[in-house]
Each structure stands twice: as C-alpha cells, then as structure tokens.
Amino acid sequence: MNRPMKYHIYNLDNHPLCFGEPALEFDTKEQAIEFASNVFEENKFYHIIEDILFYDGGYLNASDLIPIIDPETQDVILIAKEEVEKNE
C-alpha cells in the first residue's frame, strides 16, 4: 500500500498523536502546528515530522479540524474549522 507523505505530531517517545485509534495526520506543517497549539500546553514537548506513517490503528486527516471540549460530555471532540468560525 502506497502512503503519501504527511505531517504527524509525535511525543518524545515517538508515538504519533491519535484520536481514539487513528493517528492524526496533516497536509501542511502549519496545520499540524495550529492543531498542536490547541492540544498541548505551551511547554509540553512534542515534535512534528513529515514522513510516511504506517500505523495499524488507521489514519485521520485532521488538517481542517480543531479539538474542542464538548460542553455536555466534557469529552474532546474534533470539529471542522469552518463550523467554529461560523459559530463565533
């Protein structure tokens, strides 16, 4: 299976950032940085690498997604950036 180069966010143990099972991937480094800035505290250690990730848990392109806290369940959910901008 041919996988394209994508940007992935890794912790210091080189585990990819996942949402449930799938690993999150991004089309651009800027999108990965923006996502990471919404997830991690300022001094939290992570790195962003452009690579080809082979991961058994699957993949989720999060390029246009933003993590937010669901006000009803307090769970982290991913929503489209355009939905956030529309509701502001």
Average pLDDT for 47-76: 93
74 pLDDT higher than 70: yes
Closest CA to 66 of 76, 55, 51, 74: 76
Query: d(Cα 26, Cα 63) in Å, to the nearest integer?
Result: 5
Q: Which residues pair with 51 in a beta bridge?
A: 6
Query: d(Cα 38, Cα 67) in Å, to the nearest integer?
Result: 7
Residue, of 68 and 9, whose pLDDT is higher: 9
Residues in contact with 34: Cβ distance below 8 Å, sequence separation at least 6, in sequence order: none
- What does the pLDDT read at residue 52? 96
Tens-place pLDDT, residues 4-47: 999 999 998 999 999 999 999 999 999 999 999 888 776 678 89
Query: d(Cα 63, Cα 35) in Å, to the nearest integer?
Result: 8
